[in-house]
Amino acid sequence: MVSPARRVAFQILHDVEKGEFAADLLFQRTPHLSREDAGLATELVMGVLRYRPQLDFAIQFFGGRPAAKLDPEVANALRLGVYQLRYLDRVPRHAAVNESVDLVKLAKLTSASGLVNAILRKVDKRQLNWPSKSVELCLPEWLMLKWISNFGSDRIETIAHTLLQTPESYVRVPPGNVVIHNTLEPTEVPGAYLVRNEPNSSDLPCRVQDISSQAIVPLLRIEPGMTVLDTCAAPGNKTAQALESTTQVVACDASLPRLRALRTLGCPLVVADAATALPFDRRFDRILVDAPCSGTGTIRRNPEIKWRVRHSDFQVQQERQVRILRHALGLLKPGGRLVYSTCSLEPEENEQVIDIVRRWGITVLETIRRTPGYEPGDGFFAAVLTSQMSA
């Protein structure tokens, strides 16, 4: 018998390999589970995705076989088992071993059940000598080398270790609203509260939104009555934040299904590709381009990004980001403010995009960078731009 938590985790790991996002699948597939099972399923999925190279090294060390040579289902059942045996304290040994064996049977790979059983029975908690720095830091070798050159060898350990941790939860309470909740702690970003001792922050009566994400809209300096265009708005966290300051917000996104999440906000919604001319014949006081990006700043909550992203992606992202910015800047009133932001850690999607914009004669008023391990929350970059008269 496989417990609901392990069955859901196993299925999600399989679907993540097909291109889905773990956080989305956990959100969809855990509500019917008990709180304990939902917590365990989340821990297992995120743990396996975060620590994959160390788990694979342990499979090779104790089992003598490279995980890459095993059936994907067998490899995932073993990773789940090794993660429980080596990284978790409260899981009984027999449950970790037996349920991984049952998972391969469930996947109709009964012939591999003996192998899984034999390997997991040998696994213990001894300290292993990792074969490389990239296995120790649980990063692909190329990304680790890139980050060493981006951030310096003195910062890579802090960043990589931070990205292996469970992210803290933050919620948004618009400034001026009263908060009476003993689990919420104010932060340096107005309206952003850290959630303490609340296992399920989505139960709280406020929107869950990372502190770094909440730090972007204030850069627009929106005043009441100003017109605001949000070009890449879904799922609407920053649109909702902009609506705290003015009623004149238009939200645009290329994805109709994603834009549906904004229906309750009560502002005009426009499905449009912001990388081509946008369907507006007027200009805006403020524009937010919260651009689609590689998301490397969110690896703590989306660990599969580490294994999915390719070096060539950053250039492709940059080309789209530049196109979106060019069209958005054409809709900015003279002297208006445009904020460009990404949750990427990569200069190709951040500073290099802004260098291109500077060459168009656009003034860059300010840039900010939030780096995991150095500032709380996800990794973020933002630049405040203005054309002609200063904002």
Which residues carry out catalysis? 343
Question: 8, 49, 234, 362: which one contacts ligand SAM (CB under 6 A)?
Answer: 234
Min CB(352)–ligand SAM separation in Å: 18
Residue 229 backbone phi and psi in degrees, to 5? -115, 130
Which of 58-66, 149-157, 272-280, 305-313 is the region at the interface with ligand SAM (rule: CB under 6 A)? 272-280
Number of residues that bind ligand SAM (CB under 6 A): 19
Quote the least distance from Cβ 296 to ligand SAM, whole Å.
12
Task: Identify the helix (H) or strand (E) that includes residue 43.
Answer: helix 35-50
Tell me the C-alpha to C-alpha distance, in Å, between residue 137 and each of 54, 115, 225, 307, 311. 9, 28, 49, 13, 18
Beta carbons within 10 angstroms of residue 317's beta carbon:
22
Residues 59-98 binding ligand SAM (CB under 6 A) are none
SS3 370: strand
**Residues paired with residue 385 on neighbouring β-strands, in sequence order:** 338, 364
Task: Find the binder of ligand SAM among 17, 198, 273, 375 (CB under 6 A).
Answer: 273
Q: Is 158 in the site for ligand SAM (CB under 6 A)?
A: no
Candidates 192-200, 225-233, 309-317, 381-389: pick the segment binding ligand SAM (CB under 6 A): 225-233
Asked if 253 interacts with ligand SAM (CB under 6 A), we say: yes
Interaction of residue 218 with ligand SAM, rule CB under 6 A: no
Tell me the closest approach of the beta carbon of residue 275 to ligand SAM, in angstroms.
4
Looking only at the bridges linking them, the beta strands covering 184-186 and 228-230 are unpaired
| Min separation Cβ 187 and ligand SAM, Å | 18
CA dist 191 and 123 (Å) reads 47
Shortest distance (Å) from residue 345 CB to ligand SAM = 14
Q: Cβ closer to ligand SAM: 30 or 342?
A: 342
Q: Compute the C-alpha angle 305/309/312, nearest 5°.
A: 160
Question: Which one of the spans 38-46, 71-79, 182-190, 236-244 is the region binding ligand SAM (CB under 6 A)?
Answer: 236-244
User: Rule CB under 6 A: is residue 274 a binding residue for ligand SAM?
Assistant: yes
Q: Please tell me whether residue 346 binds ligand SAM under the rule CB under 6 A.
A: no
- Which region, judged by CB under 6 A, interacts with ligand SAM, from 47-55, 127-135, 228-236, 310-318? 228-236
What part of residues 104-143 is at the interface with ligand SAM (CB under 6 A)?
none
Residue 290 binds ligand SAM (CB under 6 A)? yes
Does residue 326 touch ligand SAM according to CB under 6 A? no
Query: In terms of C-beta distances under 8 Å and separation of at least 24 residues, what long-range contacts does 137-142 make, across chains too?
Result: 137/161, 138/50, 138/51, 138/52, 138/53, 138/54, 138/164, 138/306, 139/306, 140/306, 140/307, 142/311
Binding of ligand SAM at residue 255 (CB under 6 A)?
Answer: yes
d(CA 390, CA 365) in angstroms, rounded, equals: 8
Task: Kindly tell me which of 43 and 230 has the beta carbon lying closer to ligand SAM.
Answer: 230
How far does CA 116 lie from the centroid of its chain?
32
Give the integer Cα–Cα distance in Å for 232 and 222: 18
Contact 335/250 with Cβ under 8 angstroms?
no
The reply on whether position 258 binds ligand SAM by CB under 6 A is: yes
Q: Which is nearer to ligand SAM, 273 or 375 (CB)?
A: 273
| Lookup: tokens for 107 | 């996947």
d(CA 206, CA 212): 17
Q: Determine the Cα–Cα distance for residues 277 and 118; give it in Å rounded to an integer.
A: 61
**Binding residues vs ligand SAM (CB under 6 A):** 213, 231-238, 253-255, 258, 273-275, 290, 292, 324
